């Protein structure tokens, strides 16, 4: 029974507001709980040089995925890789995965086999062991929860709150593709609904469709940092869009930021398809989400270490808090950034 009679709708505060509301008074009891709520993963101190990092994520049918166009094998792969991504965002390496499913009677065993084949392919590729989980029934649809355990070196972990003023803001890969891929899938679903039997027109869009359906975690980046001897000052993975993630780095590091629109890396296909949808490609990168690239900051003195790397782009720098978080447009005007990233709990 609900004891508290006052009713505040969740949609008023959204996902982050709700998490804050529920967790802000939590105090950690154990010295081994090195990092609790608030980062891409929690950190557990084992007393030695290495630490354990843990993160969990849940995907719900109808909210996070639509099985009319998402193959279950891809879904399995994605559930795994999006969890690996949170470990990479700590500058750590994913090692063990637990998968829990709540499934309705609508799903035959074969469907769940498909899901698991995708999970296991990801585990194979990323050298992760599937070590447990839970299975239960659901009254409607499919919900999948994954918990990932990773390993990191205590002194090399990267948190969201370590950025310093004048640090360079860097991003891996390119942004916005996963969102434009989603729009394409949604469009074809709409076409199919109005004309059953119509064949989806998806040809020639492999890159953005893969970005949406089969994202990869940037496990190569912690390895690269180790090879080139680079210690980022802060880091987060891009699950909800560049704007939202940059806001997290700024809030937690108590800084502002200056971002340059012209520097934001976009794939040509993302750019063209966004335009066809009458969307601003920059907006897709800022607010689209699900790219699972890494956003991180480095000391400007470390620039030489990443200079010329085609996989890393410097997109701005950190400023003092009072300057706010701003996007400098291609026409050189400054616009305050508001995180409008995807939030399943907002209206
Ligand atoms: P991410 O986007 O990296 O998955 P989230 O935005 O989901 O991170 O979560 C932010 C932080 O809040 C994380 O540290 C996460 O563990 C924590 N968190 C999220 N939901 C809950 C919850 N229901 N109870 C406790 N902690 C939560
Ligand atoms: Mg994350």
Cα–Cα distance measured from residue 116 to residue 142, given in angstroms and rounded to the nearest whole number: 13
What's the confidence (pLDDT) of residue 221? 98
What's the confidence (pLDDT) of residue 277? 95
Bridge partners (DSSP) listed for residue 152:
51
- CA 41 to ligand 1: nearest atom: 14
**Mean pLDDT, 10 residues at a time, the chain of 347 residues:** 74 89 95 97 96 97 94 97 98 98 96 98 98 96 98 98 98 98 92 77 90 97 98 97 96 98 98 96 96 98 97 98 97 90 70
Rg (CA), the chain: 20
- DSSP states along 122-139: HHHHTT-EEEEEEEEE-S
User: Do the strands 334-336 and 325-328 form a parallel or antiparallel pair, or are they unpaired?
Assistant: antiparallel
Q: Considering only CA atoms, which residue is closest to atom 19 of ligand 1?
A: 19
Looking at the CA of 89, name the nearest ligand.
2
Q: Considering only CA atoms, which residue is closest to atom 6 of ligand 1?
A: 16
pTM for the full model?
Answer: 0.94
What's the confidence (pLDDT) of residue 344? 76
Q: Which helix (H) or strand (E) holds 278?
A: none
Please provide the distance, in angstroms rounded to a whole number, between the alpha carbons at the two ends of the chain.
25
Contacts (Cβ under 8 Å, ≥6 apart) of 61:
67, 141, 142, 143
How much distance in Å is there from the Cα of 111 to the middle of ligand 1? Answer: 29
How much distance in Å is there from the Cα of 155 to the middle of ligand 1? Answer: 23
DSSP 196: T
Cα–Cα distance measured from residue 15 to residue 344, given in angstroms and rounded to the nearest whole number: 7
What's the confidence (pLDDT) of residue 8? 84
Is the torsion defined by CA of 287, 292, 297, 298 positive or negative? negative
How much distance in Å is there from the Cα of 197 to the middle of ligand 2? Answer: 39
- Ligand 1 neighbour 57 (Cβ under 6 A): yes
SS3 52: strand
How much distance in Å is there from the Cα of 198 to the middle of ligand 1? Answer: 41
SS3 284: helix
SS3 63: coil
SS3 3: coil
Cα–Cα distance measured from residue 302 to residue 166, given in angstroms and rounded to the nearest whole number: 12
What's the confidence (pLDDT) of residue 346? 73
């Amino acid at each position: 029974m609900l004891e508290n009679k006052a009713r505040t709708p969740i949609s008023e505060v959204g996902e982050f507001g709700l998490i804050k509301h529920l967790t802000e008074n939590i105090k950690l009891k154990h010295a081994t709980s090195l990092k609790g709520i608030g980062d891409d993963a929690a950190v557990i101190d084992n007393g030695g040089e290495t630490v354990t990092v843990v993160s969990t994520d849940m995907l719900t049918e109808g909210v996070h995925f639509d099985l009319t166009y998402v193959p279950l094998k891809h879904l399995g792969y994605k559930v795994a890789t999006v969890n690996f991504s949170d470990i990479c965002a700590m500058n750590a390496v994913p090692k063990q995965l637990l998968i829990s499913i709540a499934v309705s009677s609508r799903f035959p065993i074969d469907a769940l086999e498909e899901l698991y084949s995708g999970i296991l392919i990801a585990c194979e590729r990323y050298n992760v062991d599937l070590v447990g989980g839970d299975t239960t029934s659901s009254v409607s649809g499919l919900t999948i929860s994954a918990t990932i355990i990773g390993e990191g070196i205590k002194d090399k972990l990267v948190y969201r709150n370590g950025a310093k003023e004048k640090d360079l803001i860097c991003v891996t890969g390119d942004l916005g593709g996963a969102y434009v891929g989603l729009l394409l899938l949604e469009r074809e679903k709409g076409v199919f609904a109005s004309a059953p039997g119509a064949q989806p027109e998806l040809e020639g869009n492999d890159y953005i469709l893969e970005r949406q359906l089969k994202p990869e975690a940037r496990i190569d980046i912690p390895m690269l940092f180790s090879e080139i001897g680079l210690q980022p000052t802060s880091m987060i993975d891009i699950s909800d869009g560049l704007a939202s993630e940059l806001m997290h780095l700024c809030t937690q590091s108590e800084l502002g930021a200056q971002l340059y629109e012209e520097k934001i890396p976009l794939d040509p296909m993302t750019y063209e398809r966004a335009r066809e949808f009458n969307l601003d490609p920059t907006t897709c990168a800022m607010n689209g989400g699900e790219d699972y690239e890494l956003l991180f900051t480095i000391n400007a003195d470390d620039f030489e270490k990443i200079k010329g790397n085609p996989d890393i782009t410097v997109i701005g720098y950190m400023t003092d808090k009072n300057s706010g978080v701003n996007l400098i447009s291609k026409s050189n005007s400054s616009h305050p950034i508001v995180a409008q990233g995807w939030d399943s709990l907002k209206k």
